[in-house]
Chains A and B, each alone.
Chain A
Amino acid sequence: MILLELFFTFFKIGALTFGGGYAMIPFVREQVLAHGWLTEEELLNMIAVSESTPGPIAVNMATFVGSNEAGILGSILATLGVVLPSFIIILIISALLKNFLKYNGVKAFLSGVRPCVVSLILGTAATLFLSILLGIGNNDFTLNLDILGIIIFAIVVAIATVYKKLKGKKPSPILMIAISACLGMIFYSIPF
């Protein structure tokens, strides 16, 4: 049943993603693609929408997918699913395990998980680059370049680099999304 499937899938995502924010994207991506709930492009659109609206990406994703698949009830259950694990875990820690961070086992586990999370994020970026911009992946190795996309990507990287040099910090994601939206509107609308 779709409602239970939504709840349990997002419960799993909430229970097993360490690091929050972008660290949750690899799991969310895997699950929504496997269930056929979103395509790669729809997922990227949703990440952009999440970045441009308040709230955690995983929660936004749960609300959106839930609503698409099963209306308001679906979005409530998916959101509840993604929130519940951390809610329960933090309650247990604050009520019972006050010294949680001092346990060696916890430290040891996290020492292995941290570098893994870094590679999951980098790996997601790399596979998205390959599939969205170069058109390869999923056993299909014929290049299908999205030249305009690659140009936009290069412009975005250049702007971020220059901005960082000048201001000493990275531009906000919302600003970058706004710039790339304008570039997309211009580039893809002009017939070359």
Chain B
Amino acid sequence: MKKSKLILTLFLCFFKIGAFTFGGGYAMLALLENEFVEKKKWLTKDEFLDMLAIAESTPGPIAINSATFIGYKTAGVLGSTFSTLGVVLPSFIIIFIISLFLDKFLTFTIVANAFRGIQACVVYLIGSTGIKLFKQMEKKALPLTIMSVILACMIIFSLFAIKFSSIVFILITGAIGIVSFYAKHNAKEETK
């Protein structure tokens, strides 16, 4: 396939995926797999799983990470640029239009009431996602300690209006991960 045609195909594929996946990253993965592993065979199953692991281990939305990765694999830097553009464009257009009307829309009492109901639901959605992730977590001493300490800090800080960036939490816990890894590593070396 000619490169320009390949890039156009990538753009259109990701545009389609970006336009039709509701419910965020993980819902998108099934579509990506179907499109690129099964139909087009541009990626093997193993490459797809590697991509997933990398997307989960790096910052940013999974959709963006996957588009950049698949685009690069298929057609280099230009491929990844157009894939990423394709996956972002549909939601950009939709949300931009919504942003122009949402405030006016909310001045209708009935709509505002609907959104008050929705707010309660969103609290549930966030909570249930947290609980799901907790269930998947390794139940060992260190992760459980990290989790409970940070959770307690977060709730206390917000109750008493203490400003504290959660980015600091990420960096501290990352450092703890590294220290504990090398501490274990050294302990193993010594017993040898």
Chain A residue numbers with a CB within 8 Å of B148 are 119
Verify A185–B124 contact, CB threshold 8 A. Answer: no
Q: Report which of B23, B123, B133 forms a contact with A51, defined as CB distance below 8 A.
A: B23
Interface residues on B, range: 35 or more
Q: How far is the CB of A31 from chain B (nearest CB, A)?
A: 9
Q: A149 and B23: CB pair below 8 A?
A: no
CB pair A173–B23 under 8 Å, yes or no, is yes
Distance in Å from the Cβ of B160 to the closest Cβ of chain A?
6
* Residues of A142-175 contacting chain B, CB below 8 A: 146, 148-150, 152-153, 156-157, 160, 170, 172-174
CA of A64 to CA of B53, assembled, Å: 29
- Given A57-B24, A122-B134, decide whether A113 and B113 contact each other with a Cβ distance below 8 A: no
Question: Are the C-beta atoms of B114 and A21 separated by less than 8 Å?
Answer: no
Q: How distant is A109 from chain B, measured CB to nearest CB, in Å?
A: 4
Given contact pairs A112-B176, A118-B137, A120-B169, A87 touches B68 in the complex (Cβ within 8 A): yes
B125 at the interface (CB under 8 A from A): yes
B91→A54 contact, CB < 8 A: yes
CB-based contact B167/A27 at 8 Å: yes
Interface residues of A in 77-101 (CB under 8 A from B): 79, 82-83, 85-87, 89-91, 93-95, 100-101
Which of B18, B20, B91, B143 lies in contact with A114, CB distance below 8 A? B143
Contacts A48-B122, A53-B95; A183 near B127 (Cβ below 8 A): no
Which A residues are CB-close (under 8 A) to B22? 51-54, 172, 174
Cβ of B42 under 8 Å from chain A:
no
Once A55-B90, A112-B146, A121-B130 are accepted as A-B contacts, the answer to whether A189 and B60 lie under 8 Å apart by CB is: no
What CA separation (Å) do A94 and B123 show in the bound complex?
Answer: 37
Asked if A55 and B121 sit within 8 Å, CB to CB, the answer is no
A30-77 at interface with B (beta carbon < 8 Å): 30, 34, 41, 44-45, 47-60, 63-64, 67-68, 72, 75
Is B175 at the interface (CB under 8 A from chain A)? yes
B2 at the interface (CB under 8 A from A): no
Cβ of B75 under 8 Å from chain A: no
B120 with A152: CB separation less than 8 A: yes
In the complex, chain B residues whose CB is within 8 Å of the CB of A93 = 54, 58
Q: A52-B22, A109-B177 are in contact. Are A156 and B124 (CB under 8 A)?
A: yes
Given contacts A20-B56, A153-B124, A157-B124, 17 further A-B contacts (CB under 8 A): A27-B166, A49-B95, A53-B91, A55-B94, A59-B61, A75-B92, A75-B99, A110-B174, A114-B138, A122-B130, A122-B151, A126-B155, A174-B22, A177-B125, A180-B120, A185-B113, A188-B116
Some 23 contacts from A to B, beta carbons below 8 A apart, are: A14-B59, A22-B126, A44-B123, A51-B22, A54-B19, A54-B21, A54-B90, A60-B95, A82-B60, A109-B178, A115-B143, A115-B173, A118-B137, A120-B169, A122-B131, A123-B151, A123-B158, A124-B130, A125-B123, A132-B120, A174-B22, A184-B114, A189-B110
For the complex of A and B, the 10 pairs showing the least CB-CB separation, nearest first, are A184-B117, A112-B177, A55-B91, A86-B60, A123-B154, A108-B181, A180-B121, A56-B61, A125-B127, A122-B130
Where the two chains meet, the residues of B that have a C-beta atom closer than 8 Å to any C-beta of A are 18-26, 50, 53-65, 68-69, 72-73, 77, 80-81, 84, 88, 90-92, 94-96, 98-100, 102, 106, 109-110, 113-131, 133-134, 137-138, 142-144, 146-148, 150-151, 154-155, 158-161, 163, 165-167, 169-170, 173-178, 180-182, 185
